A and B are shown apart, each in its own frame.
Chain A
Amino acid sequence: MKLLRQLIFPLIAVVAAFLVGAIFVLLIGDSPVETYRQLLGNAFSWPDGIGYTLFNATPLIFTGLAVAVAFRCGLLNIGAEGQLYVASFATAWVCILFGGVVVDVFGQPVNYSIVSLPAIILIPLGCLTAIVVGALWGAIPGFLKARFGSHEVINTIMMNFIAVALVSYFTQYHYKVPGDPILETAPVGAAAHIPRLGKFIPGLPERIPLNLAFILALIACALVYIFLWRTKWGYEIRATGANPTAAEYGGINVRKQIVLAMAVSGGLAGMVGINEVMGYRYRYYDGFSDNYGFTGIAVALLGRNHPVGVIFAAILFAILSRGGIFVDAFTEHVSKDLVQVLQGTIILFVAAEAIFRGPFGRFGLLKRSKV
């Protein structure tokens, strides 16, 4: 019953959004049934539909978790986008530097590495880099808030700009292979490639980029759950989020929690780099993020800032983002912007629900009366 109550509003939000979307589709002059068949129907085919959907969901699970953890501490981390960029670049950098990368530049072999580490060292090192660099980038606005009280929303937004410019600069001027028209780094060492799930799952071709990072994402969900609800640290973070003055009263160092929560959040966002660099493109590709950091906010919101909710919300958004391509290609008039309409409407409805019962407890507005 409790679970049902948790589920009912997100479900209503999604259904309502689809109905609103259907009105738009009708106005544009297509068939909603056909449009939604294209949007959703392609997600469940085996192996491409399911494979790609889960692959697309992977970064959203990470960013959704990132936003959720920060939110549980009462912080709005708008900076997941910047955190994942910096972390992805750093991961690529480490995997190039220690990956024995030799690239052919206009016929000349150029060595980009200082050493060639075996996979058993390089893969954990790459993963660690993603987490640590993301955590550091996230901890900075956390520290600024804890120390100077500057608002994390402003700071994380600013840090996003810095992150994007910084990694673009390093990609462009230091790690791009001369002659490559695309803004991307040299490839990472082959030892840094994490296996695609096609290797282990019969019937799933290896061309589908669904990789070990997806399993990592699920593990991250479990760990985040345990962290938040089963450890004293999680208790302190949640207490800080629920009521910082009461947390302070309970002997909790609120400032420390803010930095910690932002670091954990950043680390989770940074794990997107594992999927992107070590599991998919095998290099850092500038501008790769399809607004993962911002979609993560929507994912967390729809998933009620709970790891399990985040998984489902991430999969839904992944279905939409891939389905949008099919809508764009195979309907007469509707473009993939429909997905944006749907996402926006879902958020609107979810937010509306928060207005109805969020701040006022179980009975919503009615609860406000003392009777």
Chain B
Amino acid sequence: MRKYTLLTFLVALCALALVLAGPACTTKGSSSTDDKSKIHVGIVFDIGGKDDRSFNAAAWVGVKCAETGKRPDGTPCENKKPLDIVLRDVEPGTPNAIEPAMRAFAERNYDLIIGVGFAQAPIMEQVAKDYPNIRFAIVDGVSELPNVASLVFKEHEGSFLVGMLAAKTTKSDTLGFIGGMDIPLIHRFETGYEEGAHAVNPNIRIIQNYVGVTDSAWNNPGKGKELALSQIGKGADVIFTAAGNSGLGAFDAVEQAGTTPDGRATHFVIGVDSDQNCVKPGFVLTSMVKRVDNAVYQIVLDVVNGQFSGGIHVYGLDKDGVGYAMDQCNQKLVQPEAIQEAEAAKQKITSGQIKVTDAMAK
């Protein structure tokens, strides 16, 4: 009897296979987008994935605009025209998948391969060496190979400005900073933020914490929330997060801290990388935006126009590579006077009158 059960099962499996294969064959033609005449762009995200509402998300916006002229949520991109490219993306999920992902694109002779995140730099270095005719771009990382464009940002400058805004907003003269992984890049955010705050009021106290020392520090909202709550407990009322997904925990924390009777939040968070103002409207003071989208779009545009150049491309306040985000979600939260001061400081930084310390250059 058992034999028959087995046989029936196998037959059923085969039948199912045929049924599934049927429609599969008919739809096959439609998915072929491999038009060799177009520019092919492949992007490999960081461990966090393209939906981190932060750094990776910004890169995703950049390439999506280049492909369709629309952001991933369907809204049109300002100043970014579609470039008629073929776009493919990989979310590796683990560090080990990054190299094969890059090679997958390289093997297929993609015109541009973008790696998101400094952690990909050494891997890209190796792959780029094996494929000298393919152009690569690394966001946040640095490579000296001629076929790699290194897209770096002056996060310290942007952080300086949000530090000023935070200092103008705080009532307790205590600010918080939550970093993701404890690495020099994030220290760059931290020092800029500190200097900005102290430029407004030298007596301001800044509490800083890091989520962790491993990759997972970018992806631990629970820990982020815990840290934010403890900072709130110590008196911090504006918290700047530079912690990827973990930072979203701090958003929850300030929301939990509540509002005054007139509806204004008692505690604020400052978002990072992408414009996160509308993640929790009313609780997000501003976001230190890193215009990864601009940088990524620009490099795609360069390739399309045949103007790609390797080397280091720096995006600071001058090129609108970093900045603070103002929109309908935070208009009422920031005092106009604070914005004026920040704009003034921005002028001074671009003109060189104010020097913000770059923690990574130490």
Give the distance in Å from the alpha carbon of A172 to the alpha carbon of B212 in the complex: 11
- Give the segment of B77-85, B176-184, B267-275, B298-306 that binds chain A: B176-184
**Per-residue 0/1 for A313-342: is the Cβ within 8 Å of any B Cβ (1 yes, 0 no)?**
000000001101110111110011000000
With A169-B213, A207-B130 already in contact, the answer to whether A325 and B100 are too (CB < 8 A) is yes
Q: Which residues of B85-99 have CB atoms within 8 Å of chain A's CB atoms?
A: 88-97
Pairwise interchain contact B96-A19, C-beta atoms closer than 8 A: no
Task: Point out the residues of chain A lying under 8 angstroms from B92, CB to CB.
Answer: 325
Give the distance in Å from the alpha carbon of A155 to the alpha carbon of B94 in the complex: 26
Q: Does B344 contact A (CB under 8 A)?
A: no
Give the distance in Å from the alpha carbon of A287 to the alpha carbon of B42 in the complex: 25
Give the distance in Å from the alpha carbon of A16 to the alpha carbon of B183 in the complex: 45
Task: Point out the residues of chain B lying under 8 angstroms from A291, CB to CB.
Answer: 94
Pairwise interchain contact A366-B95, C-beta atoms closer than 8 A: no
CB distance from B321 to the nearest CB of A (A): 18
Give the distance in Å from the alpha carbon of A168 to the alpha carbon of B210 in the complex: 14
What DSSP secondary structure best describes chain B's contact surface? helix
Pairwise interchain contact A183-B183, C-beta atoms closer than 8 A: yes
Q: Which residues of B116-168 have CB atoms within 8 Å of chain A's CB atoms?
A: 118-119, 121-122, 126, 130, 141
Pairwise interchain contact A32-B20, C-beta atoms closer than 8 A: yes
Pairwise interchain contact B101-A329, C-beta atoms closer than 8 A: yes
Number of residues of chain B lying within 8 A (CB) of chain A: 50
Q: Does B31 contact A (CB under 8 A)?
A: yes
Q: Does B279 contact A (CB under 8 A)?
A: no
- Give the segment of A22-30, A215-223, A239-247 that binds chain B: A22-30
**Per-residue 0/1 for B93-119: is the Cβ within 8 Å of any A Cβ (1 yes, 0 no)?**
111110011011101000000000011
Task: Point out the residues of chain B lying under 8 angstroms from A26, CB to CB.
Answer: 20, 23-24
CB distance from B344 to the nearest CB of A (A): 32
Interface size class of A (residues with CB under 8 A): 35 or more
Q: Does B2 contact A (CB under 8 A)?
A: yes
Task: Point out the residues of chain B lying under 8 angstroms from A335, CB to CB.
Answer: 91
Task: Point out the residues of chain A lying under 8 angstroms from B104, CB to CB.
Answer: 42, 325-326, 329-330
Pairwise interchain contact B24-A183, C-beta atoms closer than 8 A: no
With A12-B10, A31-B28, A182-B118 already in contact, the answer to whether A290 and B96 are too (CB < 8 A) is yes
Task: Point out the residues of chain A lying under 8 angstroms from B20, CB to CB.
Answer: 19, 22-23, 26, 32
CB distance from B46 to the nearest CB of A (A): 12
With A15-B13, A16-B13, A168-B214 already in contact, the answer to whether A329 and B24 are too (CB < 8 A) is no
Give the contacting residue for B213; candidates A56, A183, A325, A332; CB below 8 A: A183
Q: Which residues of A164-221 have CB atoms within 8 Å of chain B's CB atoms?
A: 164, 168-169, 171-172, 179, 181-183, 207
Give the contacting residue for B214; candidates A15, A56, A179, A183; CB below 8 A: A183
Give the contacting residue for B126; candidates A15, A207, A331, A366; CB below 8 A: A207
Pairwise interchain contact B214-A286, C-beta atoms closer than 8 A: yes
Give the distance in Å from the alpha carbon of A335 to the alpha carbon of B88 in the complex: 12
> Can you list 27 A-B contacts (CB < 8 A)?
A12-B9, A12-B13, A19-B13, A19-B16, A22-B20, A26-B23, A26-B24, A31-B28, A33-B21, A34-B24, A34-B28, A48-B107, A52-B103, A168-B214, A169-B213, A182-B119, A207-B130, A285-B95, A286-B215, A287-B216, A290-B95, A290-B96, A290-B97, A328-B90, A329-B101, A329-B104, A331-B31
Q: Given contacts A52-B103, A183-B215, A330-B104, could you give 10 more A-B pairs where the C-beta distance is less than 8 Å?
A: A164-B214, A181-B119, A207-B126, A207-B130, A291-B94, A325-B90, A328-B89, A329-B88, A336-B91, A336-B93
